[in-house]
Amino acid sequence: MPPTAGTDPLVGLTLDGRYRLDAHLAHGGMASVYSAHDLRLDRAVAVKILHPHLGQDAAFAARFIAEAKQAARINHPNVVAVHDQGMDSGRAFIVMELVRGHSVRALLRSVGRLSAQQALALLAPVSAGLAAAHLAGVVHRDIKPENILISEDGRVKVTDFGLARAADDAGPGLTGVGALAGTAGYISPEYVEGQPTDQRSDVYALGIVLFELLTGKVPYTGDNPVQVALAHSRGRVPMPSSSQSDVPPEVDSLVLRATAPDPADRHPDAGAVHGDIRAIRAHLPAPEPLPRPRPGAEDRTPDPGSATHVHPTATRVMPASTVRPGRAGRQRREPKRPTRLRRRLLGALLTAALAGAGVYAWQTFSPVPVPDVRGATAQSATQTLRAAGFTNVRIARDYSADVRADAVIDTAPAAGERRSRSASITVLVSRGAQRTSVPRLTGLTVPQARSQLTARGLLTQAKPAVFDERVPAGSVISSTPGQGARVDVGSTVTVVVSKGPAPVKVADVRRQDAGAAASLLTASGLKVSRATAFSDTVPAGRVIATKPAAGAQMPRGSTVSLVVSRGPKRVEVPNLRMVAERKAVATLRGLGLKVRVVYPAGRNFNKVVGQSVKAGTKVPRGTLITLTVV
């Protein structure tokens, strides 16, 4: 049973003269976690201590510490930071960031299951943090709800990289002869079968966690951890919608791809999972906020010793195989002493057996070149490799735009490399070009369209923008190929972008009737305002000019001002009687009037004695006024 805060003898202990253990937080299958205080830096931390029966194994403890160092390489806001590691009185421990909050396990115990939107919102930061680990070359190997924490302010963090290993580590790690270390409910098929594991094993566990978030249960349970683990290697995870009808099809597809039995069919790493989650969330409604777990939900730990049911979320070191005992009770007879002839026969048989074993060993372990089977079918490649003596041939599949479906892309090891006949040869077979459909892009901005296409593995090319009367400027008018077309992943979709409505040329309506001019401009897509002005040349009611001038290009819907003539400006004729001729002429001309002078009796006084238009009369400018001068 896990220790309690009141009975745990380690509470109050100071590790390495620095970390004072204040309270017991959790008890797992491999270690216990305590809240502690870093006396040197005066800060709260979490300390994880390996269980004594595992810490006594020097190799296991050394691996535990080495993997803590690998986890410390990860720097991401969604990963619990590892600060330190060490040994104290035979106790291997890791010092981590202390997250005050609750685990996703506690959340599930309270609410049962989450909506698809909530589940994806929760897994988005998890996949982002795990992607950072994969980028750093670290595989977690124990992703499960217990190892996903939600802080009091809502931040999501991945913790417990205690089973992690470097992705390129060729050593045995925690998977040794006769043992599997991990959590049965989330363990990948290749791990169960003793095959090499990499980032795709974490992807499988992420898929199982998503299944559990959506349905409230893991896909496989059993009476012991080996039974649960074997179920992963023999079955196919069902669609979540088979038990929860509200799960969208695209979320079903995400779970099925992440939990594909063959690692080659899964996402290559957590970064690819994160990309799919973002793409799916873009098409779903915003999620409701995650609820808080009810008090006490975090404390309900499954009984690791239950004889009737083994909880699939407990981290265990599980037996991978058992030794079948011989039959008991059979009497053994005392062998007779061999005669000389019998000894010779036995010697000959032994010599022959050793010779045969030597031939077998030479045939099995002598290195030979790997045949070049690129381009061959999977069946033909397998036959060729087996004919060359390679018996351990594994088929993996991946998409390829360059190699036809069911043809071999490459082998690992590569053709020509020398390997023993007992070596494992992986044949990578093409699925053909991966296909996807072109989404609806009309009306989207170019960044929005590019985001949609990138999420489907497609490239974007924009043609020069063109005018369009209906689509706003900067938005997509159409695409080639069009919406719904099936295309190869990696191909390019060309989009036509709108410059908005074409500009309108201002028509030349000068001297036209003002009403007719306004109708013409309105019909061309422009609005019209009016202004008036006097004109000596343009009759009243007709257009003098437009602002802007005729020929200007204007956006559709812009306003053009019509300047309409009021006719010539009228001036008042002054009283010029007895005014000197020169002054009278200058006055009339200054008013814009024309002048004619007559002299009926000569020019004796040079004064105006008469005018053809009565003083005070208003006349248009340019009117002829006759002056009589004597």
What would the pLDDT profile of 100-149 be if each residue is shown by its tens digit? Answer: 999 999 999 999 999 999 999 999 999 999 998 898 888 888 899 999 99
Look at strands 148-151 and 553-554 and give their pairing.
unpaired
Q: What CA–CA distance (Å, rounded) separates 328 from 315?
A: 35
Averaged pLDDT score across all residues of the chain: 82
Tell me which residue of 204, 187, 172 sits closest to 268, measured CA to CA.
204
Q: What CA–CA distance (Å, rounded) separates 281 from 271?
A: 15
Chain segment 314-368, per-residue pLDDT in tens: 554 444 433 333 333 334 444 444 455 455 555 555 544 444 444 444 454 568 8
Chain segment 302-316, per-residue pLDDT in tens: 332 222 233 445 554
45 in Cβ contact with 94 (< 8 Å): no
Model confidence at 5: pLDDT above 70: no
Model confidence at 598: pLDDT above 70: yes
CATH topology assigned to domain 14-97: Phosphorylase Kinase; domain 1 (3.30.200)
For a pLDDT cut of 70, what percent of the chain falls above it? 83
CATH 3.30.10.20 fits 571-629, yes or no: yes
Model confidence at 495: pLDDT above 60: yes
The pLDDT, as a whole number, for residue 344 is 52
Model confidence at 377: pLDDT above 90: yes
Tell me which residue of 94, 92, 90, 86 sits closest to 17, measured CA to CA.
86
- Three-state secondary-structure class, residue 448: helix
Model confidence at 389: pLDDT above 50: yes
CATH topology assigned to domain 504-565: Trypsin Inhibitor V; Chain A (3.30.10)
φ, ψ of residue 145 in degrees (nearest 5): -55, -35
Tell me the residue type at 482: G
374 in Cβ contact with 409 (< 8 Å): yes
pTM over 0.75, yes/no = no
230 in Cβ contact with 217 (< 8 Å): no
CA angle 329, 333, 334 (to 5 degrees): 140
Residue with tokens 């004594």: 52
Structure tokens at 440: 């609806």
Model confidence at 77: pLDDT above 60: yes
For a pLDDT cut of 90, what percent of the chain falls above it? 46
Domain boundaries, the chain: 14-97, 102-294, 365-430, 435-497, 504-565, 571-629
Structure tokens at 94: 């890791």
The number of CA neighbours under 13 Å toward the Cβ of 384 is: 17
Q: How far is CA 113 from CA 108, 149, 213, in A?
A: 6, 16, 5
Tell me the residue type at 214: L
Tell me the residue type at 371: P
- Three-state secondary-structure class, residue 513: strand
Chain segment 247-305, per-residue pLDDT in tens: 998 899 899 999 999 999 999 999 999 999 999 998 888 888 888 887 665 544 433 22
Architecture of domain 102-294: Orthogonal Bundle (1.10)
The pLDDT, as a whole number, for residue 175 is 33
CATH topology assigned to domain 365-430: Trypsin Inhibitor V; Chain A (3.30.10)
CATH no. of 435-497: 3.30.10.20
The pLDDT, as a whole number, for residue 401 is 74
Cβ atoms < 10 Å from Cβ of 351: 10
Q: What CA–CA distance (Å, rounded) separates 610 from 606?
A: 12
Q: What CA–CA distance (Å, rounded) separates 541 from 564?
A: 6
Q: What CA–CA distance (Å, rounded) separates 182 from 232?
A: 13
Look at strands 492-497 and 476-480 and give their pairing.
antiparallel
433 in Cβ contact with 454 (< 8 Å): no
Structure tokens at 293: 């777990």
Look at strands 492-497 and 459-462 and give their pairing.
parallel
Instruction: Spell out a b/e string for 214-230, using b for 16 or more CB atoms within 10 Å of the CB, else e.
Output: bbeebbbebebbbebbb
- The secondary element (H helix, E strand) that includes residue 479 is strand 476-480
Q: How buried is 12 (Cβ within 10 angstroms: 0-12 exposed, 13-18 middle, 19+ buried)?
A: exposed
262 has catalytic annotation:
no
Q: What CA–CA distance (Å, rounded) separates 468 from 462?
A: 15
Among the listed residues 8, 88, 142, 536, the single catalytic one is: 142
Q: What CA–CA distance (Å, rounded) separates 315 from 614?
A: 119
Spacing of C-alpha 613 from chain mean position? 90
Q: What CA–CA distance (Å, rounded) separates 614 from 618?
A: 9
The pLDDT, as a whole number, for residue 321 is 38
Look at strands 315-319 and 367-369 and give their pairing.
unpaired
Q: How far is CA 349 from CA 341, 356, 363, 522, in A?
A: 12, 10, 21, 112
Whether 571-629 and 365-430 are alike in CATH topology: the answer is yes
The number of CA neighbours under 13 Å toward the Cβ of 301 is: 16
